[in-house]
Chain A
Amino acid sequence: MLEIDNLTHVYGPGSANEHRAIDGLKLSVAEGELLCIVGPSGCGKSTLLRSIAGLITPTGGEIRVDGKLVRQTPDNLAVVFQDYSRSLFPWMSVADNVALPLRRRDMDKRARREAAQEALESVGLLGAAEKYPFQLSGGMQQRVAIARALAYRPSLMLMDEPFGSVDAQTREDLEDLVLKVRGHHRMTIVLITHDIDESVYVGDRVVVLSKAPAHVVGDLRVDLPGPRDQITTREHPDFVRLRGEVGRLVRGVDVAAPA
């Protein structure tokens, strides 16, 4: 589904403040997988996501989505940005925000509206369709952004620290929402986060990146019994072990070292 080979990105190459964000990163994500990418802050996670989304052209390496080389944004790809207040359009109603990307799809006005309604329903916001984003709480705005991505029916959804700007309770609700919608919509999800617990709780697989320049330092399969639950899953011995492993990797401590 997604193949990243030897990806390298350098900001301002040759200049005095040259910054090597990603160095020789290799990663492949299978169809239908929910992959969480964790790493210390400033490690180049966002650069990676922007490269996959075709928003920047990496200085080296290759990214393929469905076998096709990414040169511009693939048309089956959607992004949920961290900053919902800036990525939603404040002058459009919630329904218009969700429906706007569908102009690209071969759909008439009615079909677009229906698709938007359906997506809003799946994130529990059907009643808010005619409201404006500023009338909603932060968590609800991020739900709108998720609905917009869902309505687009992508085969790959990228999420860039999607729950970084909401409170703890809302964050748990949104995590469960992602788990729920992936069950309904068959798609691959790559979720970037700096929250170790979140990565283990949500992911099928967790990839840990090093400090910049980023490369993969750990790749762990999460085999937790489903369906996941905010209380019991987090008490599970495997969850505790995995979050410890991921935590050590993020901090740069050797996994083999005694706990």
Chain B
Amino acid sequence: MIATLVRRLWLVPVVLACWELLARAQASPYLPAPTRIASWMYERWFSGPYVLTEEAVDNFVPSLVRVVGSWSVAVVAGVALGVAIGRVAWLSDYVDPLVEFGRAVPPPAMLPVFLVLFTMGTQVQVATIVFGVVWPILLNSIDGARTVDPLQLETATVFGVPARLRLFRIILPSASPKIFAGLRLSVSLALILMVISELKGSTDGIGYLLSTASNNADMPGLWAGVVVLGVLGFALNSLFLMAERRVLTWHRGARRTA
């Protein structure tokens, strides 16, 4: 366990040490040393009464709520719509062109639109994230629901499996490997869009901290924001992969033996 951790992570301290040495040698204000960034982070964000300072709570929490909340909304909407479109032929005939168009729009392009459409604040961020991440989920759900093995559905018909069970016990599980492929993409995309949407027209959030640090030419503050975002992205991805591994055990097993 420890040996594998060492083998996987040994490069991290090496890179940090090189950075530290380089930064000290250069003494440039644009390249703060890792120790300086760390002490900056500690003073500003992690020296509060319950570890986090007020500034950290006021900005991390809104970001986290936005990214998780918007992602959840996109998952529910994308999977529900996707399965409906994938299983109902006439619906897909109508909706397919719209979907093709919607997915082709680069998500950040909608940010200015939403800034005009909604008053400043969380609505803008939620709209940007949901609109951006719903496409991979939707497309993969459509594909997954469309390609359910006909023999599995016939088996369900023969044994009179009721409609609700057919959806939850057959169509959704059968589509789940593809749905999860879309979800995986959407997790990283949600984080990207969260930052972008907070850079402009926001009064709190990690993206807002980044943009104020940038305006004040506060280099340690900028790097600190980057570090927090990296850690947050890593944590969200790890959580997601854990969930995926649990849900798709059967799929990995079936693929290994096939």
**Residues on A close to B: CB < 8 A?**
53-55, 73, 75, 77-79, 81, 83, 86-87, 89-92, 100-101, 103-104, 132-135, 148, 152
Let me know if B159 and A78 touch, CB within 8 A: yes
Q: Is there contact, CB below 8 Å, between A89 and B159?
A: no
Extra pairs beyond A92-B169, A92-B250, A132-B253 (6, CB < 8 Å): A55-B154, A73-B160, A89-B152, A132-B250, A134-B257, A135-B253
Minimal Cβ-Cβ distance residue in B for A149 = B159
Q: How far is the CA of A120 from the CA of B187 in the complex (A)?
A: 42
A146–B119 alpha-carbon span in the complex (Å): 62
Q: How many A-B residue pairs have CB under 8 A?
A: 71
B residues in contact (CB < 8 Å) with A: 149, 151-152, 154-155, 157-162, 165, 169-170, 173-174, 176, 250-251, 253-254, 256-258
A63 to chain B, nearest CB (A): 15
With A87-B151, A103-B165, A134-B253 given, is the CB distance from A79 to B170 under 8 Å? Answer: no
| Cα distance A91–B258 in the bound complex, in angstroms | 14
Q: Which of A134, A135, A152 has most B Cβ within 10 Å? A: A134
* A100 and B174 contact, CB distance less than 8 A: no
- Taken together as a complex, chains A and B put the C-alpha atoms of A178 and B157 apart, in Å, by 23
A91 contacts B251, CB within 8 Å? yes
Closest to A88 in B: B155
Q: How far is the CA of A73 from the CA of B159 in the complex (A)?
A: 8
CB nearest neighbor in B for A53: B158
Whole-angstrom distance from the CB of B171 to the nearest CB of chain A?
Answer: 11
Contacts of B169 in A (CB 8 A): 89, 92, 100
Shortest Cβ distance from A93 into chain B, in angstroms? 9
Q: Which 4 A-B pairs have the closest CB atoms?
A: A101-B159, A104-B160, A134-B254, A91-B173
By a CB distance below 8 angstroms, the chain A residues around B158 are: 53-55, 73, 77-79
Given contacts A100-B165, A100-B169, A103-B162, contact A55 B157 (CB under 8 A): yes
Contact between chains at A91 and B165 (CB < 8 Å): no
Q: In whole Å, how far is A202's beta carbon from the nearest beta carbon of chain B?
A: 22
Whether the Cβ atoms of A101 and B161 lie closer than 8 Å is yes
Q: Which residue of A lies closest to B154 (CB)?
A: A55
B7 to chain A, nearest CB (A): 31
Chain B contacts for A132, CB-based, 8 A: 250, 253-254
Q: Is the CB of A104 within 8 A of B254?
A: no
Q: Bound state CA distance, A10 and B254, in angstroms?
A: 37
Q: From residue A149, how far is it (CB to closest CB) to chain B in Å?
A: 9
CB distance from B123 to the nearest CB of A (A): 38
Q: Give A104 to B162 CA distance when docked, in angstroms.
A: 7
- Give every chain A residue within 8 A of B173 (Cβ-Cβ): 89, 91-92
Nearest Cβ on chain A to B172's Cβ, whole angstroms: 9
Q: What is the minimal beta-carbon distance from A184 to any residue of chain B, in angstroms?
A: 20
B148 to chain A, nearest CB (A): 11
Let me know if B161 and A100 touch, CB within 8 A. yes
| Minimum C-beta distance from B189 to chain A (A) | 27
* A103 / chain B contacts, CB cutoff of 8 Å: 161-162, 165
- Beyond A81-B151, A81-B155, whether A90 also contacts B161 by CB under 8 A is no
Given the known A-B contacts A83-B151, A87-B152, are A152 and B159 also in contact in the complex, defined by CB atoms under 8 Å? yes
Q: Contacting A86 at CB < 8 Å: which of B151, B157, B250, B257?
A: B151
- Residue of B at shortest CB range from A73? B158
CB pair B250–A90 under 8 Å, yes or no, is yes
A101 CA / B151 CA spacing, docked (Å): 15
Give A148 to B258 CA distance when docked, in angstroms. 22
Assuming the A-B contacts A55-B157, A81-B155, are A91 and B162 also in contact, with contact meaning beta carbons closer than 8 angstroms in the complex?
Answer: no
Alpha-carbon separation in the docked complex, A132 to B149 (Å): 18
* B165 CB contacts on chain A under 8 angstroms: 100, 103
Assembled-state Cα–Cα distance A135/B250 (Å): 10
Give me 11 A-to-B residue pairs in the complex whose CB atoms sit less than 8 angstroms apart, sorted by A's number.
A53-B158, A81-B154, A89-B155, A89-B170, A100-B159, A100-B169, A101-B159, A134-B250, A134-B254, A134-B257, A135-B253
Contacting pair B151 A104 (CB below 8 A): no
How far, in whole Å, are A14 and B251 apart by their CA atoms in the complex? 43
Would A91 and B159 count as touching, CB distance under 8 A?
Answer: no
Q: Which residues in B have their C-beta under 8 angstroms from that of A92?
A: 169, 173, 250
| Chain B neighbourhood of A75, CB < 8 A | 160
Instruction: Name the residue of chain A whose CB is nearest to the CB of B252.
Output: A134
Most buried by A among B160, B162, B169: B160
Docked-complex contact B152 and A86, CB < 8 angstroms: yes
Report the bound CA distance from A180 to B40 in whole Å: 78
Distance A72 CA – B98 CA, assembled complex (angstroms): 36
User: How far apart sit A118 and B250, CA to CA, in the bound complex (Å)?
Assistant: 25
Nearest A residue to B177 by beta-carbon distance?
A91
Q: Do A90 and B254 touch across chains, with their CB atoms under 8 A apart?
A: yes
Within 8 Å CB of A133, what residues of B? 254
Inter-chain CA distance A73–B253, complex, in Å, is 33
